[in-house]
Each structure stands twice: as C-alpha cells, then as structure tokens.
Amino acid sequence: MTSQPTSDSIHDIHDHYFGAILSYPDNADALVREQLPAETVATLSSEPPEPVDTTHIDRELRDHTSDKLFLVKSATQDESMIYVVFDHKSSSPRKVAWQFLRYMMRALEQWVRENPNWTFLPQIVPILIYHGRYASYVADEFLALVKADPFLRPYLLNFRFIIMDLVVTDDQDLSDHPPLRAGLLSLKYAFREEDQLQVLDKIGRSLREAPMEFVYQTLRYLSKTFKAMDSPAVQQVIQQARPHVPQQEITTMLSQFARENIQIGKREGNSEFLLRQLRRRFPALPNWVEKRVAEAKLEVLEEWADRILDAHSLQDIFGDDAQIAH
C-alpha cells in the first residue's frame, strides 16, 4: 500500500501559495479591482487594499479557511469603506457561503467592538477563488444552502458572493496584471497534469515584472504541484521570467532555489518535506522509501533533496539503495 499526502497537506500547499500571491499589494489591488463591479471601482481610492489583521477570527475558522480580509477605501467625500474577503478553494466549494457567513459575522463583531458609536455597518464583499479539477457549478448565494419556503424567502437572511472559477476562465482573462496572472495560472494548472509543461512559458513570461522572491515562491509551489517540475522545467521558467539574464546567473538562481528549498525543508521537518517532494514526482511511492527517509541523517536527507529536481527514477535519488530494496 503506497502512502499519499493527506488532503489537508495538499490544501495547505495551495492555501499558502494563495496567501503569498495576495501578500504583494499590487496583486491584491489588481484582484480587487478586476473582481468588483466597474461602477464601484470607479469610486475607489487609488491606494492599494490594506490587509486586515484577522487574529480575532475563531481558531476553528482560521484553521479551515484561507480567508484574506482587505480594507478598500473610497475616494468619495463620505470616506465610506468596503471590506473584501477572499476565500480560496481547490475542492468542492458547495458550503463556502456558510463559511463566508461565519467569517463575516466574526469580522463585524470585531468591528463593532472597535467602533462602539457606529451608525452604519461596513460593507463586506465575499469573493471565492476556485481552482479544482472540475468546474465548481456552485450557487453564488447563501439561500442555496436553505430549503426555503418561497413565501418566507423575502424575510430570510441572504447574500451573494463573487465567484472566480479559474477552471472555466480563459488564461488571457485571468488578470491584466502579469504577476497576478502568473499566480492564477499556477493555481489553475495545479490539477491539469497533461497541460502543465505547456503552460510553463506563460507563467515565466508573466513573472517578468514580479519581484525575485515571488518568482521563487511560484517555483516552490510549482515544484510541489506540477508533476514534471524537474531541473530543466525550473530553468525554463527562470529563463522566461528573466530573459536577459546570462546563463551563469540563471545557474546561480537555480542553486539559490535549491538551497532555499533545503532551508524550507529544515524548518518544516526534513523528512516530511522530502516525502512531499517525492510523492509529487513519484505518486506510487513504495513503502521502503518512507522507512529509508525516516531513518536517514540530516546530511543524507539534504543530499537526496538536491537530487530530486533532476531525478527520473527513485534510483537517481537513492542510488544502489533503490536496487537493494527490490
């Protein structure tokens, strides 16, 4: 029986990358302005959205959602504010309206505590970013979760939310902001193994205006989710992202990327990090691999991690150990 990564660990990988995308103000600004109605965008301040501290949200909600809350200011005289909450899903989002409701209620409760003399509550707009294996086909309103009596429906709580389904959105329509488009392309093709190599050039070209740190974050995400993300594929993305950089510098970037991966592995726990990388490259991972990884010393784990990007077989990583296991 082969061991596969848990669904929680896979979701964490997607959630962390989605958070990395929105950690760059230009990306968050582009996503907000491209998803809100044009008439609303015309009234917004030129300032980028301001990320809101969500440590007040219940631990249960923080652990099971990837919500990101932003404050968007208006340019009008009344200085009205709009809060935008993003949630990202890579699996069935049918109950996302319930999660949005709980999250918005906690956010409003916190806002009321901070503004006890309020007259009007702030606007909160929920936006779902979805990138599963298949189109979502989820209803965009809360009442879809309720068997509502049609005569009572006008009196029941309801709200709608914006859905951006990456599965059915054309690549060129994902975003007009290239770094954001690179991030959304990476999410979109995480489950499309047959198209992953073909989209690497698009991702790389879209990263040309991105900070190098975001390039590395994207490469790390691709190395965990794209099955064929070996050393030539990493080099292909870097060459597209930095087309005028000499080959020697690209080689240096590759080495830097490999070292950063190892450092991340040390922080996350070397054996678990290595096993996740191995499962991406070789889904049918035999039982002896887990045993060998669990028993290996730190320097051996680092050596095996160095070999993963170039490996075509388990023998390329474990050498004679792979033959002995058979």
**What confidence tens digit (pLDDT) does each residue in 153-205 have?**
999 999 999 999 999 999 999 999 999 999 999 999 999 988 999 999 999 99
Query: Average per-residue pLDDT in the chain?
Result: 84
What's the pLDDT score for residue 78?
60
Pick from 245, 248, 172: which is nearest to 208 by CA? 245
Contact in structure between 171 and 156 (CB atoms under 8 Å): no
> Beta partners for 70?
51, 84
116 band by pLDDT with thresholds 50, 70 and 90: very high
**Integer Cα distance of 140 and 149 in angstroms:** 19
Give CA separation, 280 vs 3, 11, 43, 75, 275, in Å: 12, 14, 45, 47, 9
Q: Which pLDDT tens digit goes with each residue over 234-292? A: 889 998 999 888 888 777 777 777 766 666 665 555 677 678 778 777 877 888 888 88
CA 254 to chain centroid: 22
Q: Which pLDDT tens digit goes with each residue over 200-221? A: 999 999 999 999 999 989 998 9
In the 8-state DSSP scheme, what is residue 212? Answer: H
| pLDDT (mean) for 37-44 | 94
pTM tops 0.85, yes or no: no
Higher per-residue confidence, 3 vs 79: 79
Domain locations in the chain? 7-168, 269-325
Query: Rounded to a whole number, what is the largest CA-CA distance in the chain?
Result: 75
- What would the two tokens of residue 318 be? 């474990």
- 176-209 in b/e burial notation, b at 16+ Cβ within 10 A? ebbbbbbbbbbbbbbbeeeebbebbebbbbbbee
- What would the two tokens of residue 60 be? 């249960």
